[in-house]
Amino acid sequence: MHSKKIIMRKRAEYKSFQSSRFRKVLLSWYKAQKRDLPWRKTKDPYKILISEIMLQQTQVETVIPYYKAWMKKFNTIKKLATASLDEALMLWEGMGYYSRARNLHLTAQEIEKNYNGKIPDSFENLIHLPGIGKYTAGAIASIAFNKPVPAIDANVRRVLTRLLCLSPSSSKDKTFWELALNLMVTASPSEFNQAMMEIGALVCIAKNPRCPNCPVRSHCNAYLKGMQNRYPAIRKPKKVEEIEVVLGIIFNDTMVYIQKRPPQGLFAGLWEFPGGKVEPGERPEKALHRELKEELGEKVRIISNGKAIRHKYTRFKVLLYPFICSAQKRFSPGSRKGEFRWILQKELKNYPFPTANRKIIQSLRFP
DNA sequence: AAGTCGGGGTT
DNA sequence: AACCCAGACTT
C-alpha cells in the first residue's frame, strides 16, 4: 500500500521521529495550553455536532457568538428538528455557507426519525448524514464518543506535512488518514485529535509558524531542516473578478417586496431584494429596469438611490447599487418559481438575508 | 480533479 | 490585495 510505504520510509528516514514521545509531549502541551472554548465544556454529542458544522471553513473566533446564540434557541436536537428552516437560517445569517444550515436541519430530522433522536456514534453512520463528510464524521465520532477515528482538517494536514516533509504528491487523504491513525494509537482519540488541531491553530500556523514555541519541534523534519516556511506548498492563485449589481427595494404603500432564493446554490434559502448584474457599459438605472422586467415582469418607478455598497467574496467582488422604488400594485411575479412576500419594513429583521443585503437594509433611509 | 459555496480576520 | 479558515458537495 502506497501510503503505508510512505509511513515506513519516513520512519526509517527520520530516526528522530519517535511517535510515543511525540504523542506524550503533544498531549501534555494540549492539556496545559488548550483554549477554553464553549464546546469543550461539554460531551453532549449534539453540541459537538453543532460546533463541528459551524467550524467548517470558519474560524473559531467567528463561530463562538453564533454557537452561543444557537444553543439559547436550539439546545436539543428535537428543537432543531421541529423548527422551520427559516428559524435556523436566521441564526446562521452572516456566517456564510448557508447550505450548512439546510443540511444540518435535514440531519436533525433524519436523526430524530431514524436514530430515535440520538446522534449516531459511528463514523459509518455519521458520514451518510447530509452535510457530514469525512472530517466531520471523524470529529464527532472521536470527540463526542472517543472512537479511534482520525479527524483530518486543514490544521492536521499542515502539521503532518511539516512533521514529515510530505511532498504535494504524497499529500493524499489516505496518507494523512493512516499517518494520523498510526500516531494516535494508545491515546484518547478525543484528546489526540483536538490536540493535533489545536497545535495547528496556535503554533503550527499557515504563515510564519511559531517553531521556537513548539513543544514537538524536535520531532519536526521541516523545522530540523529550517524549511518550515516551505510547507505546505503554495496553492494556485485564484483570480477575483469584479461585478456590479443593482437591486430594487420595491414599496407599495407601506409594504416592501422580498423573494426567497432557491434551496441550492449561492445564498441557498435566504431572502433577498430582486435585481441582477449590470452589463458592461450599462447605466445602473437601466440595468435595474431590465432586470426587474426579466425577473418579475414588472415596471417600477425609481424613487431614490441608496448608498452603493462594496462587498467582497472569495471569488469575486461586488459593487451593489440599491434603489428605492415604488410599484403601482402588490404584484405577484408569475414568472418566478420561488416564494415571495410583501411585508412591513419592520418585519425585515425576521427574515434571513445575505450580509450585503443586510448592510443595505441598515444603511438605507426608507421613505 | 476542479468548481462552487461566505464572510471575517490576518499579514 | 492576497491569503487563510476544525469542508462538503456537485460535476
A256, A260, A261, A263 alpha-carbon torsion, rounded to 10°: 170
Asked if residue A239 keeps its beta carbon closer than 7 A to nucleic acid strand C, the reply is no
Q: Which fold has domain A241-363?
A: Nucleoside Triphosphate Pyrophosphohydrolase (3.90.79)
Q: Using 50, 70 and 90 to split pLDDT, how confident is the model at A328?
A: very high
Nucleotide nearest the Cα atom of A153 (by C1'): C6
The whole-angstrom separation of Cα A51 and Cα A144 is 11
DSSP one-letter code for A258:
E
Instruction: Give the domain ranges of chain A.
Output: 2-230, 241-363
How many Å from the CA of A61 to C1' of B8?
10
Asked if residue A15 keeps its beta carbon closer than 7 A to nucleic acid strand C, the reply is no
Asked if residue A201 keeps its beta carbon closer than 7 A to nucleic acid strand C, the reply is yes
Q: Which bases of strand B have any atom within 7 Å of the beta carbon of a protein residue?
A: 4-9, 11
Q: Does residue A14 register a pLDDT over 50?
A: no
Name the catalytic one among A52, A87, A93, A191: A52
Asked if residue A266 keeps its beta carbon closer than 7 A to nucleic acid strand C, the reply is no
Cβ pair A154, A57 in contact under 8 A: no
The whole-angstrom separation of Cα A131 and Cα A366 is 39
Outline where chain A has alpha helix (H): 2-13, 19-33, 45-54, 60-73, 77-82, 85-92, 99-114, 123-126, 134-143, 154-164, 173-184, 189-202, 221-224, 284-296, 355-363
Contacts of A161 by beta carbon, 8 Å cutoff, 6+ apart: A171, A222, A231, A232
Asked if residue A361 keeps its beta carbon closer than 7 A to nucleic acid strand B, the reply is no
Protein residue closest via CA to C1' of C9: A131
Protein residue closest via CA to C1' of B3: A315
Instruction: Please say if A178 is a catalytic residue.
Output: no
Mapped onto helix, strand or coil, the DSSP state of residue A342 is: strand
How many Å from the CA of A102 to C1' of B5?
13
Q: Which fold has domain A2-230?
A: Endonuclease III; domain 1 (1.10.340)
Per-residue cell: A65: 457568538
Q: Which bases of strand C have any atom within 7 Å of the beta carbon of a protein residue?
A: 2-9
Asked if residue A356 keeps its beta carbon closer than 7 A to nucleic acid strand B, the reply is yes
> Average pLDDT for residues A355-361, to the nearest whole number?
95
Contacts of A103 by beta carbon, 8 Å cutoff, 6+ apart: A53, A130, A131, A132
The whole-angstrom separation of Cα A278 and Cα A195 is 49
Q: Using 50, 70 and 90 to split pLDDT, how confident is the model at A5?
A: low
Among residues A129, A156, A151, the alpha carbon closest in space to that of A140 is found at A151
Q: Does residue A156 register a pLDDT over 70?
A: yes
Reported as a single tens digit per residue, the pLDDT across A222-267 is: 999 998 887 887 666 667 788 999 999 999 999 999 999 999 999 9
Q: Using 50, 70 and 90 to split pLDDT, how confident is the model at A365?
A: low
Among residues A106, A110, A64, the alpha carbon closest in space to that of A89 is found at A106
Asked if residue A268 keeps its beta carbon closer than 7 A to nucleic acid strand B, the reply is yes
